[in-house]
Structure 1
Amino acid sequence: MNGLASALLSLAHSLFGPGFCPGDWVWATSAAGALVALLPPIGAVAVSVIRKGTGNRYDATTLSVFGAIGLFSALVLPWLLSNGVSGVYRAAFAGEKTGLSKTELSTLNGAGGCWVDNQKDYLGGGQTVYDVLFSKNGSDLPFFVYLLAFVVLGAGSLFFVMLQGRTAFRRGPKWPSRFFWIPFAAMLVFSVGMEANTALHFWLGFLPFSVLGLIPVAMVGPPPWSVINRSDRSDEPPPRRPEPQGPPPSQVQPRPTPPPPPPPVNRPYPKTALASAPEPPSPPGGMLAAAPGPIPPPPGSRNAGGSRYRRVKQLGAGGFGTVWQAVDTQLNRTVALKIAHAPDRDTAERMQREARALAVVSHPNCVKVYDLAEEPDGLALVMEYLEGRPLAELVDGQGPLDDVAAGRLWATMAGALAAAHEKGVLHRDIKPSNIVLDPSGLAHLIDFGIARSQGDSKMTATGMMIGTPDFVAPEQAMGSPASPASDAWQLAATISYALSGQPPRGTRETPMAALMAAARADPVTRLPQRSAHARLLAASLDPEPRRRPTLNAVRREVEGWLSRAGKSADGPVTRVVPRQPGSQLPRR
């Protein structure tokens, strides 16, 4: 290895070996450190290029490749070259073979100036780093100079090598960056056998070039979101196929093809079992019945005609229906009733769709559905009652959220939507008015009114609204089927609104103009540029669905940012002041 180290020194001396204080070979040692500092960035660039095609797929092959790159670029080669440089000077001092030419050896034997009387003695005839740090005597410079230099230069170099590794593994988990900084930390420990003066000037050249090494790694750029999304999907375990039951296929006799079933007949949604069940007779003397049953409404109440839900106040109204705060008289709990204006077939299908969507989704930040009941004035969806205010009202009244609050909101809602997508349910109408913040500041996703399973047929002409125009994804506005990427776009548009106070495409005079702007995929010009989430928002609002990060990728990115900022991802979005009694909470 001395031959390679002497070649490195000769190259460094020819590149930068000025003849002024403290000497040309002292400066060449710093130049050699600068050249060695290029090795970890070269490894990080190689990792960045590989991840352009693999994304976050960390199987045995990719981990082995990344581990080998980090081991050789941050430990093996730097350690061999740095100790080889020290060995060349030590051999020159001892009069042994060095690999340098006679001319180079003659200049190495000359004076350097300042405190260096002879460069060969200064670089090769002193104590090692270990001796200087632990014996504290017989050194050319004061002990505190060595101590300060080795601590600052070593820690600084380690920090920037760590940054190089983290930059190479952007848009993914950060733990693979250990492939770089752990080997380099070991290299620092193993280099205590270098000549102290050689190590001092070597690391003086290494540190600034480790800072500059961040530039090429950053210029390569992270892997595209499409590659990351593909690698995330490939990591998911394939669905298990059910075990075949019965005799082997060879023993199964073919059966005649049955005639096709008759077309389904649309029937109105039946009343709930509890509402339709006959009430048991009241026991004599006011005693409780032996078997519990429905509690009859109090005499004279407005709902004594058969409804178990006693309405308290109207919360909001829209084109579809009215939302009431009510009390379930059987379970004695407060609920929200969404009652449709027009109880026709399409309305029933829409409400059944929302009930099915919410029934299969189990997430603490998704509103819960309890029942689908027949009320005297229409079909009613019985849901969890949420005390709070919509995000739209909060932003309009108190101003935009800061980065921490918006990050918590984004991570929370991304988790809620990802849970819905895992059940095959798309929301398709995420907007600021469909996110409610309770008094503790926690966010809840409401109104799955146009949600449908990915396998369901499209809505009929009377229910053709596909979302709110200002927050609809471009592909939805153009009539393409909705997808999880569409929900991700709408959520990003909602977060952009929470940070800036306006939709990402700006406002239009009419809903039709806003819908046309969405169909044309007009650029998003109202993003919060000063926000820490600006880049992730721009990626999530890409007009092309396949280039957007998935919700799981967004959640990892945002939670990572919150962690680095010293904030928890599950904290309150903001503190909501409870409303005064008698005020209304619009739920639509």
Structure 2
Amino acid sequence: MESIASSLLSLAYQIFQPGFCPGDWVWATSMAGALIGLWPVFGAFAVAVVRKFTGNRYHGASLIAIAAIGVICVLVMPWLLATGVSSIYRAVFAGGTGGLSPTEVANLGQEYCFVGVQSEYLGGGQNIYETLFYPSDSVLAYGYYLGALVGLPILTLLAVMLLGRVALRRGPKWPGRLLWIPFVAFVLLSAGVEANTAVHLWLGFLPATILGVIPVALVGPPSWSVIQRSDRPPEPRRAPRPAQPPPYVPPAEEEKPAPPPPAAKEYPPTAVAPSQEAAGALAAVPGPVPTPPGSAQAGGGRFKRIRRLGHGGFGTVWEAQDTQLGRTVALKIAHAPDRDTEERMQREARALAMLNHPNCVRVYDLVEEPDGLALVMEYLHGQSLANAVDTGGPLDDVSAGRLWATLASALSAAHAQGVLHRDMKPSNVIVDPEGLPHLIDFGIARSKGDAKLTATGMMIGTPDYTAPETAAGQPASPASDAWQLAATVSFALSGYPPRGTRETPMAALMAAARAEPPSRLPRQSVHARLLMASLDPQPRNRPTLAAVQREVEGWLARVGKSADGPVAKVVPRLQ
């Protein structure tokens, strides 16, 4: 290793050797420190390149690769080179060559300003441990060494941590420990390096590490499609069935024809609880909805309507009183239900019945009312996010971050059950008096005749908040819900839909189908970059809801805020 260190010193001497104070070899030592500082930069660069292909899959080979890069590039190579440089100077001071040429050894014997003879200055003093724990009588000299041998490594540690954060963008930051913990080990193991040599090595190491952030940043984070693939859980492997040996047939019976198999006996089906994988299929099967104890399927005047809450193409929503259970509920009644609408209502009831999330509206029952099939849901006190923003103004970054993280969690819970919302918009988010948001009105049952139609003639979504692919006639997907949630958050921050407002719904629908770029984004918000990524016209380029939740909750934690706090305070309306 001494030959490599001597080659490093000779290269540094050829690159930078100004002939002025404190001396050409002292300057060359700082240049050698800069060359050594390129190793952590190379390690962070390699980690960023690895993540371009693996995303956030931190297990197995990728985690071993990052750990190996950290140990080799941040600990082993810098430590070997730093101790090698120090040993060369000590060898020259003792009368040897240390692998340097005679001319280089002769130049080390020159004197400069306060340094004196360079070979003695760089190789004839105490090491780092002796200098810090057995100081000389000079308080000024001890303060100088304390600042240089402790302060410079601390600043360099911060630079290495910054390298790790840049290399780990769009992902959890904990793998950065595999870079900065080896650096701490390198600093501690370098206690035997000559103190003056260490000072000048750190003076070159620090700026090289700081400037190294630039090439690591140029690598860029992994694409959202790679992150989406890495966030998917691995598919379980099915164990192969052991091969069964063929049945033994006695020789005497080989000529006999086989008897006909007995008729299969039919048994009554066994009731089995549906698995999570079958939850989506269960939601799509029409049929009765599980009802809680004490409820009934027939309306029969059970629900006393108090006031109408909303009216649209899908039907009418009423605030009602359940006379049997004595609670206030919300009744969603379909307009002139036909068979298709009735089946869609049943699917919506089944889908909502399977959800168990504190920020999703709960479904209680599905009943027959005199004017149609009615979905009985939890009644949420408060007002819509649209009204809250219109009356109280846009939300700040903290409130919008809480809104985004909370609703991303709610939609993820719905997607885990095979349920899409398909109509995310500010009017479908209720903010209760405590300021907590709740997701309502999953877009499954819709009436015919509205502006945006699917292949079966059913309207899905609202034009101002419709994802480009669904506006163009493609089927909805979790990425569509993620786009509409980002559009809702953009409205909460700016007071406008991301594409701005149009004069007619048809114009808004055409703008969505053409995937017009957002024009009313909150550019000054800290969430602007993530909003731009989430509103990408290509679904495969958008971050997943899990990635969005992780990014936003990470930002909230860094600013010292909780993700489950209120998004706005709502004063209940007077009845």
Do Structure 1 and Structure 2 share a fold, with TM-score over 0.5?
Answer: yes
Matched residue, 1:351 = 345
Question: CA–CA distance in 1 between the matches of 2:560 and 2:262?
Answer: 66
Shift of the 541–270 alpha-carbon distance from structure 1 to 2, 3 Å rule, reads closer
Matched to 1:74, the amino acid is: V
Compared with structure 1, are the counterparts of its residues 164 and 332 closer, same or farther at alpha carbon in structure 2 (3 Å cutoff)?
A: same
Compute the displacement of 1:141 (Å).
Answer: 6.2
CA shift for structure 1 position 151: 2.4
Shift of 1:268: 10
In the alignment, is the contact (CA less than 8 A) between 1:32 and 1:202 conserved in 2? Answer: yes
CA drift of 1:317 comes to 2.2
- Deviation track 1:326-363 (CA, whole Å, cap 9, x = no partner) reads 22222222211112232333332332222122111111
**Contact 1:268 1:348 (8 Å CA) reproduced:** no
Which residue of the partner structure matches residue 524 of structure 2? 530
Output the amino acid matched with 1:337: L
Give the Å deviation of 1:237: 4.7
Note the alpha carbon deviations across 1:521-550, whole angstroms, 9 max, x for none. Answer: 111122211111111111111111111111
Q: 1: CA distance between counterparts of 2:549 and 2:98?
A: 56
Aligned CA distance change for structure 1 residues 65 and 253 (closer, same or farther; 3 Å): farther
Match of 1:336 among 306, 330, 335: 330
The question of whether the paired residues in 2 share the 8 Å contact of 1:427 and 1:451 is answered with no
Correspondence 1:119 to 2:118: yes
Indicate the residue corresponding to 1:100 in structure 2: 100
1:552 & 1:230 partners in 2: Cα distance? 12
Indicate yes or no: 2:86 matched with 1:86. Answer: yes
| 2:360 corresponds to | 366
Quote the offset at 1:314 in angstroms. Answer: 2.3
The Cα of 1:467 is off from its aligned counterpart by: 0.6
Partner of 1:238: 236
Alpha-carbon distance between aligned partners in 1 of 2:404 and 2:188, rounded to the nearest angstrom? 43
Quick one: distance in 1 between partners of 2:380 and 2:522? 30
C-alpha distance in structure 2 between counterparts of 1:427 and 1:310, whole Å: 29
Contact 1:6 1:99 in 2 (8 A): yes
Return the match for 1:504 from 478, 498, 502. Answer: 498
Contact 2:286–2:347 under 8 Å retained in 1 = no
1:306 corresponds to which of 300, 317, 330: 300
Distance 2:486 2:316 in 1: 28
Which amino acid in the other structure matches residue 129 of structure 2?
Y
Change (3 A) 1:168 1:460: closer
CA 1:238 to 1:426, structure 2 compared with 1: closer, same or farther past 3 Å? farther
Query: Given the alignment, which residue of 533, 539, 544 partners 1:539?
Result: 533
Mapping for residues 563-582 of structure 1, pairs under 5 Å? 563-579=557-573, 581-582=574-575
Q: Which residue of 1 aligns with 2:163?
A: 164
SS at structure 1 position matched to 2:82: helix
Is 1:405 the counterpart of 2:399 in the alignment? yes
Deviation at 1:58, TM superposition (A): 2.2
User: Which residue does 1:48 correspond to in 2?
Assistant: 48
% identical aligned pairs: 66
Distance (Å, rounded) in 1 between the aligned partners of 2:55 and 2:507:
39
User: What SS is found at the alignment partner of 1:316?
Assistant: strand
- Match in the other structure for 1:146: 145
What is the alpha-carbon distance in structure 2 between the residues aligned to residue 268 and residue 124 of structure 1? 87
Q: Tell me the residue number matched to 1:377.
A: 371
CA shift for structure 1 position 6: 1.3
> Which residue identity lines up with residue 226 of structure 1 in the other structure?
S
Q: How far did 1:101 drift?
A: 1.0
Per-residue CA deviation, residues 493-548 of structure 1 (Å, 9 max, x unaligned), is 11111111111111111111111111111111222111111111111111111111
**Using the alignment, how far apart are the partners of 2:295 and 2:431 within structure 1?**
32
How far off its partner does 1:183 sit?
0.1
User: Contact 1:346–1:462 at 8 Å: present in 2 too?
Assistant: no
CA contact (8 A) 2:345 2:445 kept: no
Select between 558-567 and 139-148 the one with higher mean Cα deviation.
Answer: 139-148
1:219 corresponds to which letter in structure 2?
Answer: L
Kindly provide the amino acid, as one letter, of the partner of residue 229 in structure 1: Q
Q: Which residue of 2 is the match for residue 178 of structure 1?
A: 177
Alpha-carbon distance in structure 1 between the residues aligned to 2:98 and 2:221: 44
Determine helix, strand or coil for the equivalent of 1:37.
helix
Deviations 1:154-176 (A, max 9, x none): 11100110111121111112111
Q: In structure 2, how many angstroms separate the alpha carbons of the residues matched to 1:410 and 1:448?
A: 17
Q: Show the counterpart of 1:76.
A: 76
| Maintained 8 Å contact 1:346/1:460 | no
1:183/1:423 CA distance change after superposition, 3 Å: same
Structure 1 residue 486: Cα displacement: 0.7
Q: Which amino acid in the other structure matches residue 345 of structure 1?
A: R
SS of 1:331 mapped into structure 2: coil
Give the alignment partner of residue 477 of structure 1, picking from 465, 471, 483: 471
Cα distance between partner residues in 2 of 1:267 and 1:49: 49
Alignment partner, residue 190 of structure 2:
191
Contact in 2 for aligned 1:320/1:341 (Cα 8 Å): yes
Q: Return 5+ residue gaps in structure 1 as ranges.
A: 259-265, 278-304, 453-457, 583-588
User: Separation in 2 of the partners of 1:375 and 1:434?
Assistant: 24
Contact in 1 for aligned 2:32/2:201 (Cα 8 Å): yes
Name 1:514's counterpart in structure 2.
508
What secondary structure, in the 3-state scheme, does the structure 2 residue paired with 1:335 have? Answer: strand
Q: SS in structure 1 opposite 2:111?
A: coil
Once the two structures are superposed, residues 218-241 of structure 1 have per-residue CA deviations (whole angstroms, 9 ceiling, x without a partner) of 0100011111111111x3453989
Q: TM-score, normalised by structure 1?
A: 0.86
Q: Is the 8 A contact 1:269 1:348 kept in 2?
A: no
Unaligned runs of 5+ in 2: 248-257, 267-284, 447-451
| Secondary structure of residue in 2 paired with 1:479 | coil
When residues 267 and 172 of structure 1 are mapped into structure 2, their CA distance, relative to the original with a 3 A threshold, is closer
Q: Comparing 564-573 with 433-442, which one deviates more in the overlay?
A: 564-573
In structure 2, which of residues 540, 550, 569 is the aligned counterpart of residue 556 of structure 1? Answer: 550
| Counterparts of 1:377 and 1:209, CA distance in 2 | 75
Change in Cα spacing, 1:270 to 1:112, as seen in structure 2 (3 Å) is closer
Rounded to whole Å, the distance in 1 between the matches of 2:25 and 2:286 is 93
What is the letter of the counterpart of residue 186 of structure 2? Answer: M
Partner of 1:61: 61
> Structure 1 residue 38 and structure 2 residue 32: aligned?
no
Q: Secondary structure at the match of 2:367?
A: strand
Q: 1:241-282 CA distances to partner (integer Å, 9 max, x unpaired)?
A: 9x99xx9999996989x9xxxxxxx999899895468xxxxx
Asked whether the 8 Å contact 1:275–1:306 carries over to 2, the reply is: no
Query: Residue 404 of structure 1: CA displacement?
Result: 0.9
Match 1:442 to one of 436, 448, 453:
436
Matched residue SS, 2:365: strand
The residue type equivalent to 1:181 in the other structure is W
Paired residue type of 1:134: F
1:465 to 2:463 alignment: no
Partner of 2:202: 203
Q: Distance in 2 between matches of 1:168 and 1:19?
A: 39
The answer for the alignment partner of 2:315 in structure 1 is 321
State how far apart, in whole Å, the 1-side matches of 2:53 and 2:96 are: 50
State the secondary structure of the residue aligned to 1:68. Answer: helix
CA 1:119/1:270 → structure 2, altered by over 3 Å: closer, same or farther? closer
Residues 350 and 449, structure 1, Cα contact 8 Å, conserved in 2: no
2:360 and 2:295 map into 1 onto residues whose CA distance is 25
Aligned to 1:14: 14
